[in-house]
Structure 1
Amino acid sequence: MQNVKGTTDYYGKEQAIRSRIRSLMQEVFERYDYDSMETAVLNELPLLTAKYSGGGEIVQEMYRLNDRGERQLGLRYDLTVPFAKVIAMQPGLPLPMRRYEFGKVFRDGPVKRGRMREFMQCDVDVVGIRGPEAEAELMQLAADVFGKLGIDVTLRWNNRRFLSEWLQAAGVSAELAADAMLTIDKLAKAGINAVHSELLAKGVDPGAAQSVIADLSGTDAAETADATDAAVDGGASVSAFERLCGKYGIGMCPGAQEVRSLQALLAAIGLEEQCLFDPSLTRGLSFYTGTVYEAFDASGSYASSLGGGGRYDAIIGQLAGIPDTEYATVGLSFGLEPIMELLRDRMDLPAAAPVTVIPVGSATAEALRTAAALRSSGIRTRLAPAGRKLRKALASASADGTPFVILVGEDEAASGTVRLKEMASMNESVLDIEETIYKIERSLRLPFRYYL
């Protein structure tokens, strides 16, 4: 037997780390007043393939199936479209509405480090806030989450409305602008020369393609023939935005105004150094209508995105059958798999529960009651198998790094006490259960990792 390619099973320390990451994220989400939600994994195919949903490239990676009623269905490839469906089906929900969701999604794409075909996404979305404070708050939330996880990140951001204004000013036709955005989004992975070639292959006017490449590389058009991938470094800054506005006279256009408004908010909350404007960032999904952003490991040790999102005001109205009505919506998705790649060897988790209760002789029932009392006090407790030789049970607890062992035999059961052994010093003391719990709590100081 073997797993389907691109899927895996999680257990032991790795699953403990995944659960720990989820708990830390949930703590931040709820501190920002986001409520938990679960959406359907299985969806109708027309929903997932609609032009205002994921876009052509992601639809190619979608898992499709027919049920016994010959209905065409698909597994969700993200959490955004199913969430938009929920809002479209419940038009009376009070707004603004904030939600978070942890859920598996499925994409039949290439498998590589940090990218699986079945993987967990962690999304936060807010519906009903039209101003840039929604984007600023989610970028602030992202900085808090990664700070809590101990990952130093850079948040790169752009605005698709401004991107369209720039591309059309550079000579890209309105009909080709969306396809050109998808090509530009490949800049970091494919390189500037590959982007230039693909723009031409998609039918972009050669002069317009040359101008776009010049703008991305920070060079004059005459120099773009010799531009290298390294030249793109000059694009990821606020100065790139001002340079484009000045070159094409688009500084007063709606998208440019949105960029300036968000810039001002990010500066006011102290995130301008962590959040960098990047004109090449477009995000691959076609439903984004305004600001888009992605989080990257600031050290450069991990190249792929750790999460991203943006504004998508059009999807819900389209799904509800009222395409002229916009629902102001902004979202952010964290990739648990790439985050795990960075944290797998960093997180300090115990090898075992802090307490092991060992029944001695026929005192199994009393050992179970003792373990229950410890667990009721919030202490993670392991119960050793009954009938095992005491020497082997102690050796196993020592090998696991268990700080405390509680021995419960017939004498202890008769006297209403337990024998507490501190494994580091091998000191023993006979105490009642209340004294035992108090001593363990004081010793452990009950850090989060020891709780259930």
Structure 2
Amino acid sequence: MTSPESVSNPKGMRDLKSDEMKVRERMMERMKGVFRLYGFVPLETPALENWEVLSAKGAGGEEILNETYNFEDKGGRRIGLRYDLTVPLARFVAMSPSMPLPFKRYQIGSVWRYGDVARGRLREFWQADVDIVGSESMLADAEVIACTIDVFRALGFKNFTVRLNNRKILSAMMAFAGVEGGRVDDAFRAIDKLEKVGREKVLEELSQRGVGEGASGKLMELLSLEGSPKELLGKAEKLIGKAEDGKQGIGELKELLSYLEKMGVEKNVKVDFSLARGMEYYTGPIFEVFFSKEVGSLAGGGRYDRMIGLFLGKEIAATGISFGIERIAEVLEGGEKKADKSVFIACVDESLIGEAVGMARKFRENGIPAMVDLRKRSLAKQLGYADSLNVSYVVIIGKNELKEGKVKLRDFGSGEEKLLTADECIKLIKNR
């Protein structure tokens, strides 16, 4: 028999308790509501994928593959747990050649990576993705970004920024600065930290990685540009606009920004030439939702026109974003715990349980979650249990009040009590 002391979760895995799951469920329902408004449809894929899919060159990259859970099944086939939701999407598209395009899908689910475990970094975590497959238009990228902004607004976020850049602009920046060969990726990693660590630390890291003072100076010339998104692109055009990559990248962002302006979401967008995420993966615009220095990034994505072609045998355009469910939930948790309108119905006397059951049914029919005591406890113990459930309200049924057709409604947040009919309770709770 297993002893209680030896029962634990695998390292990097955790249980999500009721309060945490309530926050996540409310959050994900709001997210799904916005996804559907933009015409995204749900897709579910297996947690397990064939190793040939997960390890395809250009899919996850060497670093991610080193963190992938993989093993041989009983039939000798090598399989692994998905490390993101994009590679399974690419495999699904490759298996559905007659599917109408563009294909707009959303998916929410767990992914697994065998990395170092730290606060906010687990080996199993949740992601929510939206992607548009089969459109080269910047309008597709604009829809993904606008949908993302509307998601964060629906979740109650106010002070967030969508940082925007382009893979082609970054390539042109490196050519402008004279950074070549293996130092290009090193330079990308260094400048991507600018928002977190500041100019001096980035210059120090560039020097440590072998990027010369002259090249670093030219990079900083671009990274120090200021102004509105349109002004920034105009200034960058004078420096890198003659290079083909620079011309294309700036042109794409100008078109993208014009769509975002028409959609009324441009105020949340900031052009940031230091954003350098997933450089082996992305082919055009890249974007990231930034909340604060303490929290960091809450979502990130971009255009990846080559990856799906690895499975399909021909290039197919795609763009999308991934939301970090764990990090978003962590920000929301404090304000969400008492956000529901659930009710616990307590009885002064055990003989009134039938009344409680009937009343619970009435609450549920009106869309209000309701619970009754299942252990024949005293009123004090029922109230203690209700408090531990973090319910918003308690209805107390007593014989004297019931003669008048009324019950006591206690607001657990304020402690206020009112003597009301069941219908009045329902009306009050629904209007709160």
Q: Do both share a fold (TM > 0.5)? A: yes
- For 1:41-190, list aligned pairs within 5 A: 41-151=47-157, 152-173=159-180, 177=184, 181-182=188-189, 184-188=191-195
Identity over aligned pairs, percent: 34
Residue of structure 2 in register with 1:384 after alignment: 373
The DSSP-based 3-state class of the residue aligned with 2:130 is: strand
Kept after mapping to 2: 8 A contact 1:54/1:285: no
Kept after mapping to 2: 8 A contact 1:368/1:383: yes
> 1:398, 1:11 → 2: CA distance?
16
Distance 1:373 1:150, change over 3 A: closer
Kept after mapping to 2: 8 A contact 1:215/1:244: no
Using the TM superposition, give the Cα deviation of residue 188 of structure 1 relative to its aligned residue in structure 2, in angstroms: 4.6
> 2:163, 2:62 → 1: CA distance?
24
Residue of structure 2 in register with 1:347 after alignment: 336
1:296 matched to 2:281? The reply is no
2:8 to 2, 13, 19: 2
Kept after mapping to 2: 8 A contact 1:358/1:406: yes
Residue of structure 2 in register with 1:192 after alignment: 202
1:306 matched to 2:291? The reply is no
Residue of structure 1 in register with 2:397 after alignment: 407
Kept after mapping to 2: 8 A contact 1:155/1:294: yes
Residue of structure 2 in register with 1:213 after alignment: 216
Residue of structure 2 in register with 1:250 after alignment: 243
Kept after mapping to 2: 8 A contact 1:157/1:281: yes
> 2:68, 2:352 → 1: CA distance?
56
Kept after mapping to 2: 8 A contact 1:154/1:295: yes
The DSSP-based 3-state class of the residue aligned with 1:393 is: helix
Using the TM superposition, give the Cα deviation of residue 184 of structure 1 relative to its aligned residue in structure 2, in angstroms: 4.3
> 2:384, 2:195 → 1: CA distance?
53
- 2:79 alignment partner AA: L
> 1:330, 1:386 → 2: CA distance?
53
Using the TM superposition, give the Cα deviation of residue 81 of structure 1 relative to its aligned residue in structure 2, in angstroms: 0.8
Using the TM superposition, give the Cα deviation of residue 7 of structure 1 relative to its aligned residue in structure 2, in angstroms: 2.2
TM-score, normalization by structure 2: 0.83
Kept after mapping to 1: 8 A contact 2:165/2:287: yes
RMSD over equivalenced CA pairs, Å: 3.3
Using the TM superposition, give the Cα deviation of residue 381 of structure 1 relative to its aligned residue in structure 2, in angstroms: 0.3
1:439 matched to 2:429? The reply is no
Distance 1:385 1:291, change over 3 A: same
> 2:236, 2:114 → 1: CA distance?
37
TM-score, normalization by structure 1: 0.80
- 1:165 alignment partner AA: A
- 2:393 alignment partner AA: P
Query: How many residues get paired?
Result: 414
Distance 1:388 1:317, change over 3 A: same
The DSSP-based 3-state class of the residue aligned with 2:239 is: helix
Kept after mapping to 2: 8 A contact 1:406/1:419: no
The DSSP-based 3-state class of the residue aligned with 1:214 is: helix
Distance 1:258 1:195, change over 3 A: farther
1:327 matched to 2:319? The reply is no
- Residues 370-418 of structure 1: CA deviation (Å, up to 9, x unaligned): 4233212211101112532345435655786653425388x97xx9x97
- Residues 406-439 of structure 1: CA deviation (Å, up to 9, x unaligned): 5388x97xx9x9752223665556x6xxxx2x32
Kept after mapping to 1: 8 A contact 2:345/2:356: no
User: Structure 1 residue runs of 4+, over 6 Å off?
Assistant: none
Residue of structure 1 in register with 2:307 after alignment: 315
> 2:141, 2:235 → 1: CA distance?
23
Deviates more, 1:75-84 or 1:9-18: 9-18
> 1:398, 1:290 → 2: CA distance?
52
Stretches of structure 1 that go unaligned for 5 or more consecutive residues are 201-205, 220-231, 448-452
Kept after mapping to 2: 8 A contact 1:237/1:278: no
Stretches of structure 2 that go unaligned for 5 or more consecutive residues are 1-6
> 2:289, 2:341 → 1: CA distance?
34
